[in-house]
């Protein structure tokens, strides 16, 4: 394995030091790093760059098996590496559904074969995502994939009895239920956020209470059974307040926000462009502000991309017929920098917390999100915070182009990503490309 010497790096944006990456770990730091680096070590000038632990996404849709026309595990994880991720959790709404040990092991093995990031399958809560019968939770937990996160994401576990049983069941192996909070009866035929914009442009609205009612129910169920609950893609000011209240009571609940709910609003629906159609929908400016505040004060624990690739046919159509979802793996870090770091709401250490350390803890992934210290696994990302780039979806590694950020200028660029000391990205280039440079530069 190649040895790398990172010079003048700034771990978490604070101070500068040298690091030696060897044998899959951070072998040395400071003056000792240069002293121990051999002649064969590849030197990377990290001047002006921020060093973070490798990012971990608790909410990724990789589509394989079943919808390889939209994404494959190989293409999706390649995009993840370019976004600075070293681990992703692959959601269960594939075809077939990830509701058995056999299917989650298939996804896990395909992730290992691809080699870009660690892939942790998310098991379905119910058989076929139908919301009627518990899936093989225990078998998936005991499989080679060691599943610890379970979700019917894309659909809500709307039956309170089934939700209670799932919360009780996963306690046996320290699992967590990740809920897609959407009351189905309140959102039948809904197309976007219910509010002024939906009324003016004539699209059926999706009320905030449809999300909030499920979160309120589920935090009480989690308290009742003493289990772990994770709220997926929280999007309303009311949801932030409910989670804040639940945490004040000591309920074991965590929550995530997506990059698009930190940045975009329902005003974008006025052009009827389905690229802005997403589940849950883009909300109001007041909701966006509340989500940013909740992330800043720790009410919202993490950022999850909800990377949801779709084929051109599923998005290049009228709004009502279009699929819900947006891509996000390659732009997530930049959006967090734009909305949270550059505005002074968060530091780079906070970014490491919400995009690496805490998602690792929630997903029970012990070798990711680790401190940047000697002896720790070398799962790392180097970021140039001063870079500016324009989003061109067709130039991204993901197999789909349904990014809502087309043409936007975003700050930050991933310069290098290391998975257990192996460079998956150098100088912003994925390392399976024979044209890729054999070394990385700073800026």
93 has binding-site annotation: yes
Cα 137 to Cα 126: distance, rounded to the nearest angstrom? 9
Distance between CA 212 and CA 218 in Å, rounded? 10
The residues near 182 (Cβ < 8 Å, ≥ 6 apart) are 155, 156, 210, 211, 214, 279, 280
Point out the catalytic residue in the list 306, 314, 350, 384: 306
If we measure between CA atoms, which residue out of 221, 216, 149, 212 comes closest to residue 182? 212
Q: Are 3 and 12 in contact (CB under 8 A)?
A: no
Q: Annotated binding residue at 58?
A: no
Task: Return the pLDDT at 1.
Answer: 83
Q: What is the pLDDT of residue 438?
A: 41
Dump pLDDT digits (tens) for 275-325.
999 999 999 999 999 999 999 999 999 999 999 999 999 999 999 999 999
In the chain, where the domains are located: 53-363
pLDDT band at 434 (very low <50, low <70, confident <90, very high): very low
- What is the architecture of the domain spanning 53-363? Alpha-Beta Barrel (3.20)
Among 119, 32, 138, CA closest to 77: 119
d(CA 140, CA 151): 12
Share of the chain above pLDDT 70, in %: 98
Question: What's residue 317's pLDDT?
Answer: 96
Tell me what pLDDT residue 432 has: 77
Rounded mean pLDDT of 199-226?
98
Asked if 218 is an active-site residue, the reply is: no
Is 279 one of the annotated binding-site residues?
A: yes
**Ramachandran quadrant class, 86 (left: phi over 0; alpha: psi -120 to 50; beta: rest):** alpha
Instruction: Using the CB atoms, write b or e for 298-319: b if 16+ within 10 Å.
Output: ebbbbbbbbbbbbbeebbeeeb
Q: Round the average pLDDT of the chain to a whole number and report it.
A: 96
Look at residues 345, 363, 366 and name the one whose alpha carbon lies nearest to residue 295.
345
Distance between CA atoms of residues 413 and 158, nearest Å: 40
Under the banding of pLDDT at 50, 70 and 90, the label for residue 442 is: very low
Does residue 59 have a known ligand-binding role?
yes
Each residue's pLDDT tens digit, 161-207: 999 999 999 999 999 999 999 999 999 999 999 999 999 999 999 99
Instruction: Say if residue 85 carries a ligand binding annotation.
Output: no
Query: 230 a known binding residue?
Result: no
247 HSE (CA, 13 A, CB side)? 17
Q: How far apart are CA 37 and CA 361, in angstroms?
A: 32
């Amino acid at each position: 394995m190649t040895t790398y010497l990172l010079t003048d790096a700034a771990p978490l944006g604070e101070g500068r030091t040298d690091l030696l990456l060897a044998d899959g770990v951070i072998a040395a730091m400071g003056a000792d790093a240069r002293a121990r680096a051999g002649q064969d070590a590849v030197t990377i000038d990290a001047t002006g760059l921020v060093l973070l632990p490798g990012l971990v996404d608790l909410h990724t849709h990789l589509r394989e098996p079943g919808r390889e026309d939209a994404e494959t595990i190989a293409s999706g994880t390649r995009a993840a590496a370019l976004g600075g991720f070293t681990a992703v959790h692959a959601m269960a709404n594939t075809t077939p559904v990830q509701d058995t040990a056999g299917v989650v092991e298939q996804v896990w093995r395909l992730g290992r074969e691809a080699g870009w990031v660690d892939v942790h399958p998310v098991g379905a809560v119910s058989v076929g995502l139908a919301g009627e019968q518990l899936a093989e939770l225990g078998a998936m937990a005991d499989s080679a994939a060691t599943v610890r996160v379970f979700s019917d994401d894309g659909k809500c576990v709307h039956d309170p009895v089934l939700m209670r049983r799932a919360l009780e069941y996963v306690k046996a192996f320290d699992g967590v239920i990740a809920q897609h909070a959407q009351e189905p009866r309140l959102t039948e035929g809904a197309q976007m956020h219910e509010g002024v914009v939906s009324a003016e442009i004539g699209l059926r609205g999706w009320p905030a209470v449809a999300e909030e009612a499920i979160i309120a129910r589920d935090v009480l169920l989690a308290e009742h059974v003493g289990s772990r609950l994770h709220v997926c893609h929280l999007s309303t000011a009311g949801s932030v307040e409910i989670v804040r209240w639940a945490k004040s009571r000591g309920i074991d609940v965590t929550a995530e926000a997506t990059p698009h709910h930190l940045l975009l609003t329902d005003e974008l629906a006025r052009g009827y462009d389905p690229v802005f159609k997403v589940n849950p929908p883009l909300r109001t400016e007041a909701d966006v502000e509340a989500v940013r505040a909740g992330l800043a004060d720790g009410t919202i624990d993490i950022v999850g991309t909800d990377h949801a690739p779709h084929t051109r046919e599923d998005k290049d159509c009228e709004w009502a017929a279009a699929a819900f979802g947006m891509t996000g793996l390659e732009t997530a870090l930049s959006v967090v920098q734009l909305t949270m770091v550059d505005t002074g709401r968060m530091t780079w250490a906070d970014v490491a917390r919400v995009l690496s350390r805490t998602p690792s803890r929630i997903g029970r992934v012990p070798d990711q999100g680790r401190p940047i210290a000697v002896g720790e696994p070398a799962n790392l990302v180097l970021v140039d915070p001063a870079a500016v780039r324009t989003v061109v979806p067709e130039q991204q590694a993901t197999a789909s182009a349904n990014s809502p950020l087309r043409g936007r200028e975003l700050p930050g660029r991933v310069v290098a990503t290391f998975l257990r000391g192996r460079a998956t990205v150098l100088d912003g280039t994925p390392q399976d490309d024979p044209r890729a440079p054999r070394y990385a530069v700073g800026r």
